[in-house]
Structure formats: structure tokens, C-alpha cells
Structure 1
Amino acid sequence: MKTKAIFATLLATAALSFTAAASAQAPRETVVPNFSHAIPTIPGKSLVAAEVRYPPGGASLPHTHAKSAFIYAYVVSGAIESQVDDGPARIYTAGQSFYEEPGVHHRVSRNASKTAPATLLAVFVVDTGDMPLTTPQK
């Protein structure tokens, strides 16, 4: 039961922290918890997935993730513009993916379209209990 409570907290935190990161000037994204489970062969690590749905023109404020988080991002539909640290901004379309190393600054995360929605599946490999999963920059 304790493990289920930890995963419920992880998923709830993911949803709240992504939503809190939405820009006041752009439509907010919606985060839908997708999956959470301890990785049995890596003690202390969990896999947490969330679906991030951006409405047309939707964006997140610049943010960081939990210090232990390695993130795999897969664009399910539409186009997502992303920029990490001082790297170039890139647009990823449905079927493409990218990753984020632990500790990076996610400067840009937004729907590349002002007219069509976009959906991203974010998969975190994270220390179990490392919270919050996403922290907006002020």
C-alpha cells in the first residue's frame, strides 16, 4: 500500500507542477497521469509517465525537473517546440522524440502551432520520491 501511495503522489505532483508551469499569457497545457511503477531491477528508481496536452498556442514557463530525472519525450500528435539549456530550439513532430538529461533547464516547451493541438508523452526515470517532478522558473 505504501508503494501505491508514493506513485499516486508522484503522478499528482507531475500533473500539478506541469499545470503550474503554464504561462499566464498562453493557454494552459493539461497533464494526464499515464503510468507509474518502481523499476524492479534498479532499486530506488521509478518510471513515471504523463501525457502533456497543449491546446493551440499552449506553452509552459521555463522550468527544471527533479534533479534525478532523465526524461524521454515522445510527440504523440502535432508539433512541439523545445529548447534545453543553451542548445538550439527545435520543433519535433508526431512520431519524433527527444530526451532531457538530469539537471538541465528547459527554456522552451510549447505547441508549435497556433491552430492545432499537440500531445507529448513525457516519461521520467527518477529516484522514487524525488519531488516535485517539475519546477517553474520565476
Structure 2
Amino acid sequence: MFRPIAAAVSVALIAAAPTLAADKPYNAKVTTVFDHEIPNVPGKSMRGVLVEYGPGGSNPSHTHAKSAFISATVIQGRIKSQVNDGDVKIYNTGEDWVELPGAHHRVSANASETEDAKILAVFIVDTEETVLTIPDE
């Protein structure tokens, strides 16, 4: 089962990597798994983010860095997602979706109350962007 990240760990993660998620994940863990500048696309980077949800886990409604184009793939379980004013959809292991720059990710949650779920989100983003996720206020 996942627990909210302790304050000391949060400070260490912020110092080591771009900001990834809301300050208070809800039974969710967010980890940068890679961060590479794209050599043939000056000023752009590709960042991989693993989002792990415990049973019933979610993240608050949010947007991403203004330059972020995101491809998200469910690598375990089932994910409930809503982008902008689209329908709430459930994605199964192996399914994916994209988020265009400026998209509003209204729902991001584990669709199961009993099993874990994981997403690999790949961001193409301006290299200087340091905050990848901005929670709604």
C-alpha cells in the first residue's frame, strides 16, 4: 500500500528532479524514471514519469507544464482518466492516451478499489520547464 511522501523525502525529490505532482497525493506515488535532452530537437527534453496508484488511489485535478505533450500508457491495472471536457474513460493495461499542451487533467485515478495500478507518462517538454504538474487551486 502506498503512503503520502514524507516531508524529508519530498524535499530530496524536489532538489533532485523536476516537480512532478501535487503536494498531497492520495494513495499515489510519482517517480521520475528518466530525463533526457533530445539531441536533435534543441531546447526539448523527454521525461518519463511512473505514477503508481494503490487501491482507490488518485491525484488531484491538474494541468501540466505549458509546453508538455504527454503520452500515458497503463502498465498495470485499470486507470480512470478525464482530459479537458472529454468523457471519463477507463483504460486497461496496455492502453494509452495523449494530453496536448495546456490540457486539463480533471480525473486521474485507479479504477479499482482492491488492486494497484501504474501509468508510464512520457513528457516531451521544454528543457527549462522544472514544474511538470500544477494542481488546481
TM-score (norm 2): 0.85
Structure 2 match to 1:13? 18
Deviations 1:79-138 (A, max 9, x none): 000001100010001001111000011000000000000000010000002131001001
Any unmatched runs of 5+ in structure 1?
1-7
Structure-to-structure mapping, 1:1-138, within 5 angstroms: 12-14=17-19, 17-20=20-23, 22=25, 27-138=26-137
Name the CA distance, whole Å, in 2 between partners of 1:71 and 1:11: 21
Any unmatched runs of 5+ in structure 2?
1-12
Q: Identity of paired residues, percent?
A: 47
Give the deviation of 1:12 after TM superposition: 2.2
Per residue, is there more strand in 1 or in 2?
Answer: 2
| Count of residue correspondences | 125
Name the CA distance, whole Å, in 1 between partners of 2:14 and 2:37: 13
Deviations 1:4-36 (A, max 9, x none): xxxx9797234xx325252xxxx3311122111
| Alpha-carbon contact 2:36-2:47 (below 8 Å) kept | yes
Per residue, is there more helix in 1 or in 2?
Answer: 1
SS of corresponding position for 1:116: coil
Name the CA distance, whole Å, in 1 between partners of 2:103 and 2:15: 20
| Alpha-carbon contact 1:11-1:33 (below 8 Å) kept | no
